[in-house]
Amino acid sequence: MNDGIILIDKPAGMTSFGVVARVKRVLSEQAGKKVKVGHTGTLDPFATGLMIIVVGKECKNAGTYSKLDKVYEATIRLGQTSSTGDPEGEITDVSGYIPSRAAIDQALAQFRGEITQRPPIYSAIKVNGQRAYKLARRGEEVIIPTRQITIFSLELVDYKYPELMIRAHVSSGTYIRTLAEDIGSELGVGAYCTQLRRMSIGERSIEKAQTLADLGLID
């Protein structure tokens, strides 16, 4: 492939940049020259799911793909918080209170529609020209402005304390880790995201994606 898109099902434990690097290496080897490859929005290392990889001339349209709505499925652990909002951070016990199903439903209702969200400091957002997560890891103060996002739908898929599973259709720029933390705050028990999977980007679904193993990029 010289120009176009590749739909990848990213595995857990790999960065988005790592996925791009593997695809770029293989395509460049096949073409016998350097092939331009990019992504249209990162997924956290612990997360899995759909990535749209742009190749060649299609790289100029990366911004168009990144602005599309997305659907995620996430598992949220109640009663604890994480310094990064995910399993990779420092975990702190907050509360042993067990919210009822009605309380969960009521909390989720607060986040449907247009809301204000502050992206996490452990994110790829640039602050003064540097990635926020790099500043945070160095212990520097990171202040990221709030932003308006839209949560078109937010469904409770399953709830067995201390974990609840949600499915969210959201606008571009939404951070599910932050949503998990905010749900925990709304319930008064704390929470963080333990699993995250991107199911779709715009009209493109994970069902059409290939794994890195399918492409011969990992064993």
> What domains lie within the chain, and their CATH numbers?
4-67+203-211 (no CATH), 70-201 (3.30.2350.10)
CB 44 within 8 Å of CB 86:
yes
Residue 31 confidence (pLDDT): 87
**Which pTM does this prediction carry?**
0.91
CB 165 within 8 Å of CB 159:
yes
Whole-angstrom Cα distance, residue 83 to residue 122? 9
Q: Which residue positions in the chain have pLDDT lower than 50?
A: none
* Each residue's pLDDT tens digit, 32-50: 999 999 989 889 999 999 9
3 state SS of 65: helix
> Of 218, 156, 141, whose CA–CA distance to 187 is shortest?
156
Residue 131 confidence (pLDDT): 76
Encoded amino acid at 161, one letter: Y
Whole-angstrom Cα distance, residue 5 to residue 134? 29
3 state SS of 167: strand
Whole-angstrom Cα distance, residue 122 to residue 86? 10
Cα–Cα distances in angstroms (integers) from residue 82 to residues 4, 20, 90, in the given order: 38, 28, 5
Active site residues: 44
